[in-house]
Amino acid sequence: MKLARFVVVLFCLSGPLTAQAASIFHDEDDDERPYRGSPKEEWHELDADIPPWPEKENLIPLKLDLGSFPYSLFIDGNSLSVGEDKVVRYTVVLRSPNGVENVTYEGIRCKNKQVRRYAYGSRGQFRPVRKPQWRFIRNHGHDLYRRELVRVFFCPLPVGDSTAQILEKLKKHDFVRFQYQEDQM
């Protein structure tokens, strides 16, 4: 019985001390400080203007060994841009072994490792995606090339003229072997 009383008394006495200790670490101005990445700093995407159809002489071939990924990959150098919103936008051409091409205009956010398709193309024309949505880049399927664009070429965004530096990386690359590692994304 004495032990129970002792625990109750100790509990009652420690309450004010806990509240006082908590107030030491809480500054009333904490909610007003502009910490980096705070909810008050909302990201706003710029409008994405769909570029002209890619011309063959502007296509940059990328030699990526992506395992079972059956397509040859090309980036249209003229469409590549990095906006003030930090989105890398580009036209990608995926060519099947039979010569069939899938063309899309899309953007990647390095900060979140997300992709958004703005338009699909065929027969020399782009068609805007009705309701483009940002989604996370996956580690399989058609996202394998996007994962490598993020890992090797686009991210982190270079300081200065990001567009020119990314273009230089794309043009100078030799061969990239895909390596699946969880910690890279």
Q: What is the pLDDT of residue 52?
A: 97
Q: What is the pLDDT of residue 66?
A: 76
Report the percentage of the chain scoring pLDDT > 70: 71
Instruction: Domains for the chain: give ranges and CATH numbers.
Output: 56-184 (2.40.128)
Beta pairing partners, 61: 74
Give whole-number Cα distances, 78 to 43, 48, 56, in Å: 26, 15, 11
CA distance 4 to 16: 20
Is 178 or 16 the better-scoring residue by pLDDT?
Answer: 16
Helix then strand then coil, in percent of the chain rounded to 5, is 30, 30, 40
Q: Which residue has the tokens 């956010």?
A: 109
Question: In this structure, what token pair is assigned to residue 114?
Answer: 């997300």
138, 150 contact by CB (below 8 A)? no
**11-53: per-residue pLDDT in tens?**
555 555 444 444 433 444 444 444 455 555 788 888 889 999 9
> Chain-wide mean pLDDT for the chain?
79
**140-169: per-residue pLDDT in tens?**
888 889 999 999 899 998 888 889 999 999
- Phi and psi torsions of 9, nearest 5°: -65, -45
Q: CA nearest 120: which of 107, 104, 106?
A: 104
